[in-house]
Chain A
Amino acid sequence: MSEIESQTDGTARSSETTTGETDERIREEWSDYSFEGEAKLTVDDLDVYYGDDHALKGVSMDIPEESVTALIGPSGCGKSTFLRCLNRMNDRIKAARIDGSVELDGEEIYQDGVDLVELRKAVGMVFQAPNPFPKSIRDNITYGPRKHGDLDTGLLARLTGRDDSETADELVQRALEQAAIWDEIKDRLDDNAMGLSGGQQQRLCIARCLAVDPDVILMDEPASALDPVATSKIEDLIEDLADDYTVVVVTHSMQQAARISDQTAVFLTGGELVEYDDTDKIFENPESQRVEDYITGKFG
């Protein structure tokens, strides 16, 4: 693949006009990223409309498992929209209309009869601003499993002998350790989560997401509201998580994408996926002139 790309390099650049119009065939080649192993998520020709606004145009990409995939691009290019399609969070926006196909482990998630509870248990999400519930740290972690009926605690459970308090404690410890925050907050699990610092809150949100044991974790600019120290902790955490989980990260920091991701998809204005390849390739030798301009800071 890389040989073909290097051969077509010259023609591809010349075939891209200054307004960003590119030959459809070439663009497909740029975004046709091949890798070994199975794809965790397969997106095929995904279109999203907000009312009359065509927010995402025919995006197709395969996301490999147990790796970090970064989505970069300027504001309003549709990368967050794309991310929210992967666990159907866009269903919550009434004006949004979605065409196309997203497959999780080969199963279509945009079809009748999909259990949103199971889907979102398998595909968790972490948001831009830390949003812990105004509850204790312990309750934040156990919230998902309790609501799914996987944990039974409380008075009635104790009376009927189905108390899962010990399992809950183990779960809290496992999730917080995975999110690299256990040592910092293990002594105040019953304090309100609102008392944590921003970086701790965000890692708590990651732990809350891990507690329901997802396969895929979607992160929407998870470090953009944090200071550099907290950011670097989140970045380390993301790299560690990629050993067991498939992580998809939206970021507008190109340095961050370069540091943490295995492959990078570049979205540019208009809701198009312009180029998708190994992160090294994207940052060192992108095919598209617009992507190169964007990465070197000439545009966007």
Chain B
Amino acid sequence: MASATESSVVRGDTSTYETIAALTVGLAAVLFFLGLAATVEVVSITGTLAGLPTLTALGLLLVIMGVAVAGFGLISYRGIFPTDPRASAGVVAGGLFSSLWGLIGALVAAETLGLGVVGGVAGGLVLGALAFFATALPREDIGSTLPAGALAVFFGLVFLLGVVGPEWSWSPANFPSSQSVTFFAATVAPFAVMASSLVVGWAAAKAYGGFGARGRHLGAYLLVYLNAVSIIAVLIALVAFVVFKGFGPVTEGVEIGLGVGPATTIGLFGFGFDVVWPVSWPFLTNGASLFTDITGVFPAIVGTIWLVIGAVVLSVPLGVGAAIFLTEYAEQGRFTNVVEIATNALWSTPSIVFGLFGAAFLVPRFTPQPQKSLLSGMITLGFMLLPLVVITAREAMIAVPDEYRDASAALGVSRWQTIRSVVLPAAMPGVVTGVILGVGRIAGETAPLLLTMGGGSFVGAGQRAKVLDGFQLSLSPPFVTNPELTQATTALPYQLYQVILTGTGQTAGVNDVTAFGWGTALVLLGVVLAFYAVGIATRQYFRSKLTYE
């Protein structure tokens, strides 16, 4: 294989051994994502995969990989290929394999062999101890490949021989019947595949790196990489699921063409003329009405948008002001520490507590009779957003270099003018980031709205919260009134809750409650993403003013 003259610094061309090891790593990654796909039922356990029954195919792959990995260890141990193994695979790897094999031993002894609890514990201990010694005692190349390969071969044979078939299920007999638990193959098999592919992939990556420091680095890199990719995969799966489910109901009855949409009247110098939209999108522009075919979520969209705007308008000036005081004026000490702990605690306060506060404190204050209102909802959500704005604005201001403050002071500029012209502009991107994060949370809040704002969840499009039209001027205090703010209205998450759980949809003319719910969820996602886009554009604007190019 490798020539004897090869120096230890220069690694020669890729050898057959390394090629096969790299292929095994790739195969392990594929298998891991097959397992991930099976957990979200993209790949069916009962169906077929590449012409074979899914479990048989997975089992075959596992056996091949297990044998290959064990082979790498033996090749390295016999010195056929020069590697650089340590004396032992280490206690951490030993503990990991010990717990995996111990679990298998306990389950097999207790259930398959029918030895009961005592036998199960004994089997687990024996196999766990064996696995630990098999990992930790021999040289690293044997210790990290053989237990891993054996695990993959074991699961592979279990699937191949049909011990666990597609219809397999297991209800542990020892559970009280009231809490009975049943494991199905569709749930267990993907996890077994993912676990063994991770272990085998890790061992193969170590073998590819020739064990030792480089092998450990590659093994850890593979695990971290798969972890990161699977997080993104889960996120994409989640969003894709909502889009698939919600796309149908949202786009129902969409028409594009001249003159198909609703008409908007624009008043100009006393003349009013109608502008007809070229798009008709009933789900987004309709409310609930007996006269429309498709019930839409327009009032709820308007309600959510006003809620977020109100909360941001309330909390950003207050929060940024508090952050200015805490970072620029207050002396760092016990007082600022207490405020910091209090804001952190406030941010992690459950939202229903804010809702109850709003219901008890805000709801009775704006109208003669206690009445849930848009204003109460805005203020409650504003209070929820406030701590995050304080925290992030404070962090952003602390991160502004003191050199700027020194330079400004040396020019004789007062502290407040320095804050306004130098510190705040430099801190703005951070503040906006905080607001973006917070808006994502409050736009989806349901619990506080149940208690402070929610009225009828299904209202006509004409009954939306017309905040801009609602302002009325008068000559007597309070000079400006807006009845729209003091009325109950609806919002997307609130409407979603009502549709799914309280059945108000049926009476409002919704044909398919579940589909309507998915549609609402998709629109909510869209509204939140739209706020994100606005926030990111704002942050980019402030950032571009601070940096060169």
Contact = CB atoms under 8 A, between A and B. Distances in A.
A and B pair up: yes
Interface of A: 87, 89, 92, 94, 116-121, 124-125, 127, 129, 131-135, 143-144, 147-148, 191-195, 205, 208-209, 212
A143 B546 contact: no
B548 interface: yes
Contacts of B417: 147
A158 to B, nearest CB: 19
B404 A120 contact: no
A128 to B, nearest CB: 9
Query: Which 10 pairs across A and B sit closest by C-beta, in order of nearness?
Result: A195-B548, A120-B412, A131-B403, A125-B410, A144-B411, A134-B546, A192-B548, A117-B412, A147-B413, A194-B548
Contacts of B410: 87, 89, 120, 124-125, 127, 209
A125 B410 CA distance: 6
Given A117-B412, A143-B421, A195-B549, A134 B407 contact: no
B240 interface: no
B41 interface: no
Contacts of B403: 127, 129, 131
> Which one of A94, A129, A147 has the greatest number of beta carbons of chain B within 10 Å?
A147
Interface residues of B, number: 23
B406 A89 contact: yes
Interface string B482-515: 0000000000000000000000000000000000
B386 to A, nearest CB: 28
A273 B548 CA distance: 43
A209 B546 CA distance: 21
A133 B409 CA distance: 12
B423 to A, nearest CB: 10
B547 interface: yes
A205 B407 contact: yes
A147 B407 contact: no
A194 B425 CA distance: 15
A137 to B, nearest CB: 11
Contacts of A143: 408, 411, 413, 421
Contacts of B408: 133, 143
A147 B548 contact: no
Given A144-B411, A195-B549, 4 more contacts: A129-B403, A132-B407, A133-B404, A209-B410
Nearest to B420: A147
B336 interface: no
Contacts of B409: 89, 92, 120
B407 A192 contact: no
Contacts of B422: 133
A135 B426 CA distance: 10
Contacts of A205: 407
Contact of A117 (B331, B406, B414): B414
Nearest to A193: B548
A192 B417 CA distance: 20
A196 B277 CA distance: 51
A144 B411 CA distance: 6
12 contacts: A89-B406, A92-B409, A120-B411, A127-B410, A131-B401, A131-B403, A131-B406, A133-B404, A135-B425, A143-B411, A194-B548, A208-B411
A273 B407 CA distance: 27
> Which one of A120, A143, A193, A208 has the greatest number of beta carbons of chain B within 10 Å?
A143
A127 B547 contact: no
Nearest to A148: B412
A111 B408 CA distance: 23
Nearest to B409: A92
B426 A212 contact: no
A192 B546 contact: yes
Contact of B331 (A94, A129, A131, A209): A94
Contacts of A120: 409-412
A208 B404 CA distance: 13
Contacts of B549: 192, 195
